[in-house]
Structure 1
Amino acid sequence: MFIKTEILKAISFRNPVKLPFSYWVLVIIRFALTLLPQRGYIHPDEFFQNVEVLAGDILTIDIARTWEFNPKFPIRNIFVPKMILGPPLHFIRIANPYTRHYFDLDLKTPYYLLVIPRIFICLLSLINDYCLYKICVLYGQNFRNRLKIFASSYVVFVYCCRSFSNTFEMIFFSMLLYLVAECMLKSDKVIYHNEFLQEKYEKAATAVEKVKIFKLSTHLPQHSLNKVIVLATVVVIGIFNRPTFVGFAFPPIFFWLHRGLGSKVVGFKDFHYRIFTFIACGIPIALLLILVDSGYYGYVTMADIESLKISWDNWVVTPLNFLRYNSDMRNLTQHGLHPRWLHLAVNVPLLFNVLGVLAIVTLTVNTYRFIRGQYSKLPRIQSITGLMLFSLVIPIAVLSLFPHQEARFIIPVLIPLIYLYGNHLHANESDGPKARKFKTTLRYTWYTLNALLTLFFGFVHQGGIYPFSNSLYHEIKNNYGDHTHVITTHSYSIPTFLLQLESTTKVWKDKKTGHKYRLAPTTFIHKYGSLPIDELFVKVDDVLTNAEMLLHDYKKKYRFYIASPCSLEQDIRSVAANYPYIELIEDFTYYPHFCTEAFPNFPTKHDQFCVENKFIRTNESRAVDLNMLQRISCFFKKFCLRIYKVKPVTKYRI
């Protein structure tokens, strides 16, 4: 009876604990920053790979459907975005009539369209916190320090509250690590007691003792296929979300398959049985996701299913299309090629600063020890440390093989990184005065850098796009029916769904006559990336000429804007002078707005452009030499987004 009780205690994971107050403060800050809202714009993919497309489907509005969702060759799965972003967008669609009627609150405005999906994603990001907490509790590690370090990371404040597919990938990875960690611990305990009882059984002197021990062994729970259905489901969904998830899923699944291998009770038979069962459990969810994608992109219809006229051409497998697309070097060249050391040398320190550098140094030391054969000083392979170590190294190594590398691709490794090294920023009882001082310095450096990076990526980077979109939304709404032309240059694209443009693809029906019709577009967003200014004004000339012709022939009023970084002010004015019939009027300036596409030059001592454009204040009416403080002030004030209203000079009007 005693042995049975001990076994039950050993396999019990209940351990009620209290989370530190400072952690809850950081969680509140996470939600508060999301509600402000964060006007920073990290990358177009945070809108155009997910929420833009879903908003077009659910809210029936005009959106910019990017090439990844082209039905001819789709590479993006629609299931995960629908599951994560569908609920908040459906909430907006259903609740909006009631909030407008009872509270005079329109949810279909840029603020709520931006914030409500982000708040939902922010709630889901707590899954990462929970998984880290549970792993620490299971293995008796200090979860308080790790949770505070994790919750203070700017990756959590910024990336984890945005609709990146990498954000969803991080959630799946965290779940996978927790599930595998739990399975490993349970298997270790069950295998230990199984071997213990087996040894007692062999040493038992009487048949009665052997029967008692045998009965006790039957009370041991099954562990070999623990969580297999859930694990297979998470892995398959993660791969359909981003095929790069294979690199993240490999270490946890490898450790799950190898649990107890080499012990007296687990052999290669169990290993192969686990593999086949895992694959078999993953097939149904894979088929379901293929069916969802095939139906969404129009490859299979209910008529095809009813008539049973289904062939291989009726199915689309988006992960395979993703791999086919990215295997072509010409496609990767369009998105930018990077050196294969970029993740390790740049992206790891950029995302994880102090901890990233600490991890690189520690892994370098461990590599040296491995080469020297000092295996006793290395972490044990079949342990939670081994799992986290491989889950940190393997994904970065795999993603480094591809020549297109962006920092957000590796944000999921934050969980194993924090588990391994998060506690290194807090002093231990055995640390001396110098070690304590050093760790305190590291910890405050971590907090300071993450605060600065939160401000930069959350509010400064491309920070003028959202407020301009908000102003543009009200401009379009207040001048319904007028044509609006917007040219953006050297900045990210405006998320079209924020403008709530009426659908021009939906068929409308006149209630009186019953006639069906489609609306003609009235808002035109022209995206020219980093097109040279002289070529840009050729486009401006064309747009203005067409708008003037429509005004003259059909009395169609229009508004025409150019959105450009302030650093291009001099170039724009210089080129615009070549078009005497075009008048540029400075309409508004949004500050701050940082973009690398048009990084401003540091003003020289004799730079009079700063004075002429009021980047600095001076009482002098003549040319003046700028001092260093004025030059610095002028430089930082160039980090803004300037909106120009474009009109024809009156005497040239058609």
Structure 2
Amino acid sequence: MLLKSNILKAISFKNPVQLPLSYWLLVCLRFLLTVVPQRGYLHPDEFFQNVEVIAGDIFGIDVSKTWEFDPQFPVRNILVPKLLVGPPLYLIRFINPYTKFYLNIDLKTPYYLLVIPRLFICLLSFINDYCLYRICVLYGQNYKNRLKIFATSYVVLVYCCRSFSNTFEMMFFSMLLLFVAECMSFSDKVIYHDEFLRQKYEQAKTPVEKVKLFKLQTHLPEHSLNRVIVLATLVVVGIFNRPTFVGFALSPIFFWLHRGLGSKVIGFKDFNFRIFTFILCGIPTFIVMVIVDSVYYGYLTLADVDSMQVNWDNWVVTPLNFLRYNMDKKNLTRHGLHSRWMHVAVNVPLLFNVLGAIAILHCLSNVYRFMRGQYSKLPRIQSITGLMLFSVTIPVAILSAFPHQEARFIIPILVPLVYLYGNHLQSNETDGPGYKKLKNYLLYTWYILNLLLTLFYGFIHQGGIYPFTNSLHYEIKSTYGMHTHVITTHSYSIPTYLLQLEDTKRIWTNRATGHKYRLSPSTFIMKFGSMPTKDLLETIDYVLTDAEMLLHKRQRKYRFYVATPCSLERDIELEATKYPYIKLVEAFSYYPHFCSEALPQFPSRSDRHCLEKTDILPELVDLNVIQRISCYMKRFCYKIYSVHTTSNT
């Protein structure tokens, strides 16, 4: 028992809370940026893959469910978002009556509906920090520098505080790395003591000495199946969250299975037994996930269970549907096809800038050493460096095999990336003057680039959609029952749950009469992609005509908005001249708003649209460079037009 306690003590953690003040300031910054709030809009999936759907279930409101949640062919698991996004939404539903009554604060408004779930996810994001910290301490690495590098990444400040399934994938991956790293360290120490005692046993000359050594050997703690239940459960949950988790889990699980293989005490028998046990321990979680999805999507009902008429058609395996969908290149074409080198050449530098460049150079160096046969200079297959290196390269390589590649798909590799190369940005006493200067330059580059990218993706990218949604929410609530038509083009979709619209698909029952009825919709959000201006005006004409008919026949008042990037202002107003009975009036605009779907053109020296409408146009406009740049920057905004007929204006 004494030997067992000594081994456990050897891998215990010292000074668990000695974190630098700069890191705690960065912690506060992460919360502050979340509360502000960040009005930037990274991708529709940050809402429509999780919080939009869960909010509809919890609040009973009208939401926009994407094709991924189509009961005919569902590809998204519902349990993971329910567990990770559900608690803050349930909290809002529970305490909102009290905050309204006692504090006069309505939590069902866009600000709180946006910020409270993000705060909860922001809190969960510290799982990544904690896992990085524990791994560093476990292997005697400088955790202070690495934590500061990690906490200043814009991936952490922006992506990790949003409800992306990739954000959850990053947390699962970080936990998987920590558990495997702990198992590797523990196994190394147990195997070392086991081999040492075996050697001493063989060298012992007396029976008494052999008995003592044998007893010591039997007191060694078990390690072969350490964390097997936790690891198997984590892998299954991660795969149901995003089937791409297979690529991330491959390296850690391989290293967990490979612990001690080749030593005198661990053989292929142990390796095979670990695989069998791991698969066996993952089955219960797999069954639970399948049952939850099958019930949620209506494949399995209580009537089926009561009648014992359950067959293969009553089950749905969402990861399998996900793979079936993505194996068809026609489906991927709808979402955009990219070159196979997109992740390595573009997304890695974009997400991780300096660290990404160092990682690419280091991987190329290892490939060169491998080709030259310099195997001794490569990381050991059972070392923590080997685990982290493979945890960076294997996921990127696997995801690069698919032609649809978005930057957020590879954000989970940030933790192993910082562990491997975080210290490359911090100078130490052994570095020469030139090397210290280079490291300081790389460190400042890291800080500056991440600051700029935080501002861009956190506040500028599609930054006009949230404030417009906020204004729209209050307008709808202030004039209940008035028809509201909104057309958006060349921008991301409005998160419908922020508007808190009543569910028009639900059947209501009058308690007094027992009569069943369904509410008629009064708000119509029409989301178009990069619709040509000509088609946009035709759609406006159609919607306006229909609204005017309801106004004259049923006295149904309406408001009609068209939301587009400011860069389309000239084209829309020019096309609108072909419809003399349509009046487009600028209601408001929001700045800044960057939209890659409609980038503005840099104005020429004679561009009259750069002048204020109140200015008297001279015969010849001659703009200098400063005026042209100022004009160009002002076009990065989100313009909202109020649509009327000329008879109403």
For the aligned pair, the TM-score class normalised by the smaller chain equals over 0.9
For 2:76, the equivalent position in structure 1 comes to 76
Structure-to-structure mapping, 1:568-647, within 5 angstroms? 568-612=568-612, 621-647=618-644
The amino acid that maps onto 1:420 is L
Contact 1:299 1:315 in 2 (8 A): yes
Superposition TM-score, scaled by structure 1 size: 0.98
For 1:291, the equivalent position in structure 2 comes to 291
| Counterparts in 2 of 1:523 and 1:8: CA distance versus 1, 3 Å | closer
State yes or no: 1:491 paired with 2:485.
no
The amino acid that maps onto 1:369 is R
The amino acid that maps onto 1:50 is N
For 2:9, the equivalent position in structure 1 comes to 9
State yes or no: 1:120 paired with 2:117.
no
For 2:359, the equivalent position in structure 1 comes to 359
| Counterparts in 2 of 1:494 and 1:342: CA distance versus 1, 3 Å | same
For 2:36, the equivalent position in structure 1 comes to 36
Q: Secondary structure at the match of 1:259?
A: coil
Contact 1:15 1:137 in 2 (8 A): no
| Counterparts in 2 of 1:553 and 1:522: CA distance versus 1, 3 Å | same
Structural RMSD (CA): 1.4
Q: Secondary structure at the match of 1:352?
A: helix
Q: Secondary structure at the match of 1:190?
A: helix
Q: Secondary structure at the match of 2:611?
A: helix
Q: Secondary structure at the match of 1:254?
A: helix
Q: Secondary structure at the match of 1:38?
A: coil
The amino acid that maps onto 1:356 is G
State yes or no: 1:532 paired with 2:539.
no
Distance 2:224 2:2 in 1: 25
Instruction: Compute the displacement of 1:139 (Å).
Output: 0.3
Contact 1:11 1:190 in 2 (8 A): no
| Counterparts in 2 of 1:40 and 1:11: CA distance versus 1, 3 Å | closer
State yes or no: 1:25 paired with 2:22.
no
State yes or no: 1:432 paired with 2:429.
no
| Counterparts in 2 of 1:373 and 1:607: CA distance versus 1, 3 Å | same
The amino acid that maps onto 2:284 is P
For 1:161, the equivalent position in structure 2 comes to 161
Distance 2:17 2:634 in 1: 49
Structure-to-structure mapping, 1:11-410, within 5 angstroms? 11-410=11-410
Q: Secondary structure at the match of 2:607?
A: coil
* Residues 392-417 of structure 1: CA deviation (Å, up to 9, x unaligned): 00000000000000000000000000
Distance 2:202 2:270 in 1: 23
Contact 1:187 1:260 in 2 (8 A): yes
Instruction: Compute the displacement of 1:508 (Å).
Output: 2.1
Contact 2:585 2:641 in 1 (8 A): yes
The amino acid that maps onto 2:630 is S
* Residues 579-606 of structure 1: CA deviation (Å, up to 9, x unaligned): 0000000000100000000000100111
* Residues 142-170 of structure 1: CA deviation (Å, up to 9, x unaligned): 00000000000000000000000000000
Q: Secondary structure at the match of 1:74?
A: coil
| Counterparts in 2 of 1:4 and 1:339: CA distance versus 1, 3 Å | closer
Range moving further from structure 2, 33-42 or 14-23: 14-23
Q: Secondary structure at the match of 1:540?
A: helix
Structure 2 runs not aligned, ≥5 long: none
The amino acid that maps onto 1:207 is P
Instruction: Compute the displacement of 1:612 (Å).
Output: 5.0
Distance 1:2 1:572 in 2: 80
Instruction: Compute the displacement of 1:183 (Å).
Output: 0.2
Contact 1:4 1:216 in 2 (8 A): no
The amino acid that maps onto 2:103 is F
Distance 2:5 2:598 in 1: 69
Instruction: Compute the displacement of 1:363 (Å).
Output: 1.1
Distance 1:4 1:97 in 2: 55
Distance 1:195 1:638 in 2: 71
Q: Secondary structure at the match of 1:549?
A: helix
Structure 1 runs not aligned, ≥5 long: none
* Residues 113-152 of structure 1: CA deviation (Å, up to 9, x unaligned): 0001000000100000000000000000000000000000
Range moving further from structure 2, 28-37 or 622-631: 622-631
Range moving further from structure 2, 355-364 or 232-241: 355-364
Range moving further from structure 2, 297-306 or 227-236: 297-306
Instruction: Compute the displacement of 1:619 (Å).
Output: 7.3
For 2:454, the equivalent position in structure 1 comes to 454
Distance 1:631 1:14 in 2: 59
